[in-house]
Amino acid sequence: MPWNRWPHARGIRGHMFMDSMATYPWNTHRSRMMSEIRGKNTKPELALRRALHARGFRFRLHSGKVHGRPDLVLPKHGAVVFVHGCFWHRHEGCRYTTTPATRPDFWQAKFDANVARDSAVRTKLLEDGWRVATVWECALRKPEKVSATTDRLAAWLLGGKVGMEIGESDILQSGIVATDWECGC
């Protein structure tokens, strides 16, 4: 049973909740690895969920009733949110969108398939009348980025725009995460 379907595990209750997950029998190293490969319940996704929940937003997770099983579904706002790993989903121009040196054809075919699938899912969701946001994992790598990204996402959810995308460079350019400018790394 996925952990988010388990009755005791419903809802996000901050760090206490996250810590208690470690005692659940299915939370083995293997299942963590698998969830990272599938891109569900990853650390950045959990951070975004926690921050969004703290701002009063309520959502369903990975709903099978919605095409493409978006990471978050917010029916009240007619919106879905995908949290995409930059490497697997090929975030354009991102420093984490690297390509392994060996077996380039193998990787390229895999990446092309992922990008094509994401695009088809997005098109279908928009046709079905959903608003669609993509949050790239690079925008969730540090607590201050999570906060800035969540602010942006919240503003979009409350606004009327159909699509939105947030990457690390979007929040850096807006100057919200000022310290990153000084760092230069």
Q: Which residues lie near Zn ion (CB under 5 A)?
A: 86, 91, 94, 136, 138, 167
User: For residue 168, what are its two tokens?
Assistant: 């690390």
Q: How far is the CB of 185 from Zn ion (least distance, A)?
A: 16
Give phi and psi for 113, each to the nearest 5.
-65, -40
Instruction: Indicate the burial class of 16 (C-beta count within 10 angstroms; 0-12, 13-18, 19 or more).
Output: exposed
Q: How far is the CB of 45 from Zn ion (least distance, A)?
A: 14
3-state secondary structure (DSSP) of residue 142: coil
- Residue holding tokens 């989903």? 89
Of 82 and 136, the one with the shorter C-beta distance to Zn ion is 136
* Cα separations in angstroms, 151 against 32, 127, 158: 28, 27, 11
Of 48 and 77, the one with the shorter C-beta distance to Zn ion is 48
Of 51 and 77, the one with the shorter C-beta distance to Zn ion is 51
Q: How far is the CB of 59 from Zn ion (least distance, A)?
A: 22
Of 79 and 138, the one with the shorter C-beta distance to Zn ion is 138
Q: How far is the CB of 139 from Zn ion (least distance, A)?
A: 7
